[in-house]
Structure 1
Amino acid sequence: MEFIEIVESRITTPKLIRFIRKEFPSNESLNSEQQWQKFEYLKQLSDKDITSGIAKMARIESGFFYSKYAMFILCILSLSLGSLKFIFMNTLPIGSEVYFIYMIVCVFTLLSAFILDIRVMTTATYFKTLLEQAKADKKNEKESLPSSQIEVKIYKVWPFWKKDTFYIKQAKSLEEVLFKWKNKEIASYISDRLGYWSTKDKKAELQRIRGLDLDTVILAIARMKDIEEYFDNSKIVPGLTSVSTLFVTYIVYYFAYANEGKPTMASVTIGIMFSVGIFYGITYGMDSSRTCRSRAIQYRSLLEQVKSEIEKN
């Protein structure tokens, strides 16, 4: 198991403090190559893991767990001593020596618990500082990417049972996106930059398009038209609907064959289920294609506007 996987597995476990003292001792400087390499591993943690680790360290800092346990134990001892005093009040009175020993035990227990809490708090504070620094460095590295660097999160429909159904696509220039990416990846890029819910600067994307030369703009317009044709369902849906209707009809007759071809409740139910499934599949495909086609039309309009500006100049 790699070190980063070990950190991910320990970040929310009770043994985290012991792990931190072993791997990230506060008395060692980050200037050493080994400690710096471990700090670089922290930067590879996901934002969720780093945030969870910072929250856990903050909770440990204000926990005073050992002091709470010590106070609980001393309360039990005090109750036990009071009970013994009440029970043996006449036969075996408790002398001052016992109270003195009890006081020494209380002071020693509280002092030991306080020292342990200080050690835990120091470790938690140090590791929280490392996590906060790693989080800040990750953010700075993302912001320091060159302006031409393009990064898009593209979602995948299949396999739908997996948790992370997306992948990150990167490109060094807009030309690489327009001419080397797949059609659906280009549609995802346009949605990410110009979609209604996008938080990206749409004017910045327009300026990026204006940075293209005339030949690239003309080829990009052609690529957008190709995407529009690729996702045009107007020629496919009528034929697909007719075939689906015929398919469902034969499915009903197939399951009604044992009843001399007369439809039964079971065959009709199966036919309805197949019809719903086919309808859902066709509707989902049409909606996905319609979205991709509208994105291509939107981007083509911008390209054509930039093309007219270049030709005027």
Structure 2
Amino acid sequence: MRVEKIKNAILKNKNKDLMGFVGEQFGNNRSVHEIMNHLQTLKKLNDNTLMLGIARMDQIETDYDHSKFLPSLLAITGIMFGIYVKTLDLVLVFILASFLSIALLYIMKKERRMRANAVYFRSLLIQVKEAKKRSNK
């Protein structure tokens, strides 16, 4: 893989596309040889690209961290259902709650993979940066 391809992916791709790229190029579906080649390519990135990549992975990790807003969302949902139980039929409230819960779980499961890829790639970038720093001493 070329250095420019990784650099462009880190700096220009949208978050979803970047995480797809990371999953494809550095995921478990690759052979050990391919992953090692990609790691060597990462080591050729300049320090600015590494810093921007680490910062971008932090941002993506934060964006897809559901633990920050899930408690508030559950509290608001509970209050809404408490109000609806008094005004609507209990069966209708149950159907609505089930639908919302399934939708929320689906979205969280889908985005969890993106967060995991961001954590993984950030770790790789940090280790590459540290290795470059040690080799320059």
TM-score (structure 2 length as normaliser): 0.86
Which of 46, 53, 57 is 1:224 aligned to?
Answer: 57
Query: In the alignment, what sits opposite 1:188?
Result: 20
Letter matched to residue 239 of structure 1: S
Q: Aligned runs of 1:95-114 on 2, under 5 Å?
A: none
Structure with the larger helix share: 2
- Give, in angstroms, the shift of residue 148 of structure 1: 2.9
Letter matched to residue 302 of structure 1: L
- Give, in angstroms, the shift of residue 223 of structure 1: 0.9
Query: In the alignment, what sits opposite 2:124?
Result: 302
Letter matched to residue 188 of structure 1: G
- Give, in angstroms, the shift of residue 294 of structure 1: 1.2
Residue 148 of structure 1 pairs with residue 11 of structure 2: no
Provide, for residues 252-294 of structure 1, a one-character-per-residue CA deviation record: whole Å limited to 9, x for no partner: 3222xxxxxxxxxxx1111111111111122122222322111
Q: Which of 1 and 2 has higher RCO (CA within 8 Å, sep 6+)?
A: 2
TM-score (structure 1 length as normaliser): 0.40
- Following the alignment from structure 1 to structure 2, what is the Cα–Cα distance between the partners of residues 193 and 253? 53
- Give, in angstroms, the shift of residue 311 of structure 1: 0.7
Letter matched to residue 24 of structure 2: D
SS of the counterpart of 1:175? helix
Which of 52, 65, 79 is 1:246 aligned to?
Answer: 79
Provide, for residues 41-85 of structure 1, a one-character-per-residue CA deviation record: whole Å limited to 9, x for no partner: xxxxxxxxxxxxxxxxxxxxxxxxxxxxxxxxxxxxxxxxxxxxx
- Following the alignment from structure 1 to structure 2, what is the Cα–Cα distance between the partners of residues 249 and 192? 45
Letter matched to residue 295 of structure 1: N
Provide, for residues 209-268 of structure 1, a one-character-per-residue CA deviation record: whole Å limited to 9, x for no partner: 11201221111111111111111111100011111112223233222xxxxxxxxxxx11
Residue 289 of structure 1 pairs with residue 120 of structure 2: no
Q: Aligned runs of 1:1-313 on 2, under 5 Å?
A: 147-148=1-2, 173-196=5-28, 198-199=29-30, 201-255=34-88, 267-313=89-135
Letter matched to residue 2 of structure 2: S
- Following the alignment from structure 2 to structure 1, what is the Cα–Cα distance between the partners of residues 20 and 84? 38
- Following the alignment from structure 2 to structure 1, what is the Cα–Cα distance between the partners of residues 30 and 129? 26
> Contact 1:233–1:289 at 8 Å: present in 2 too?
no
List structure 1 segments (4+ residues) > 3 angstroms apart after TM superposition.
none
- Following the alignment from structure 2 to structure 1, what is the Cα–Cα distance between the partners of residues 99 and 22? 30
Q: How many residues align?
A: 133
Q: Which runs of 5+ in 2 are unaligned?
A: none
Q: Which has the larger radius of gyration?
A: 1
- Give, in angstroms, the shift of residue 179 of structure 1: 1.4
SS of the counterpart of 1:211? coil
Alignment root-mean-square deviation, CA: 1.8
- Following the alignment from structure 2 to structure 1, what is the Cα–Cα distance between the partners of residues 38 and 95? 46
- Following the alignment from structure 2 to structure 1, what is the Cα–Cα distance between the partners of residues 114 and 10? 14
